[in-house]
Structure 1
Amino acid sequence: MYVVLLEYIKPLAEVDYALPEHVDWLNKQYEAGRFLASGRQVPRVGGVIIVRPMPRGRLDALLATDPFAQQKLARYRVVEFEATRTAPELAKVNEAVST
């Protein structure tokens, strides 16, 4: 699994202008079953996305399609981890990794 940390590198006014496109992109990733959770950091300096397991190259290619990346509004830090314990709601994610 991955935790993706977005850091805004442009003013919030520019980020807000691209936000509807970014939300559409997020929605497509949820519909495809790729993302588990996402939201703004507090304070609002960027965002966080929790991503299901996938090859790292695939994730990098996917992040490159984010309007925030394409418009150079954010930089991304990807943290990969192996979930060894999860809440019952996430048990299926953990099972998918081990099969």
Structure 2
Amino acid sequence: MFVVLLEFATNKSQAAHFMEGHKAWLQRGFDDGVFQLSGSVLPAAGGAVLAHGVTRAELEQRVAQDPFVAEGVVGAKIIEIAPSRASEPLAFLLA
């Protein structure tokens, strides 16, 4: 399981230009069953995505396709988590 931190970068002011592409990228991740949760990092620091069911290499490739990453709107940091406990609704993350 991974947490992808998308931290605003030098080209932050261009976010509006690439927002639709970023939203489409997120939707593909959810449609593919890879993204489990996404949201903003507060206060206005960027975003985060919880990803599951892929290898780090596959996720790195997917993250590179985000228009926000490709256009320097955000920098991406991928954190790998080895879950050992989960609440019942999140038990699937242990697999």
Same fold per TM (> 0.5)? yes
Q: Which amino acid aligns with 2:42?
A: V
For residues 34-49 of structure 1, the aligned pairs below 5 Å read 34-49=34-49
Which whole-Å CA distance do the structure 1 matches of 2:85 and 2:91 have between them?
8
For residues 6-45 of structure 1, the aligned pairs below 5 Å read 6-10=6-10, 12-45=12-45
1:36-89 per-position Cα deviation (integer Å, ceiling 9, x unaligned): 101111111110111003211111111010011111211111110111111211
Q: Which runs of 5+ in 2 are unaligned?
A: none
Asked if structure 1 preserves the Cα contact closer than 8 Å seen for 2:63 and 2:69, the reply is: yes
Answering whether residue 53 of structure 2 is matched by residue 85 of structure 1, we say no
Change (3 A) 1:20 1:33: same
Asked if structure 1 preserves the Cα contact closer than 8 Å seen for 2:18 and 2:68, the reply is: yes
Q: Which amino acid aligns with 1:41?
A: V
Aligned residue-pair number: 95
Q: Which runs of 5+ in 1 are unaligned?
A: none
User: TM-score, structure 2 length as denominator?
Assistant: 0.91
SS across alignment from 1:85: coil
**RMSD over aligned Cα, in angstroms?**
1.3
Which whole-Å CA distance do the structure 1 matches of 2:87 and 2:16 have between them?
33
1:74 aligned partner: 74
Identity %, equivalent residues: 27
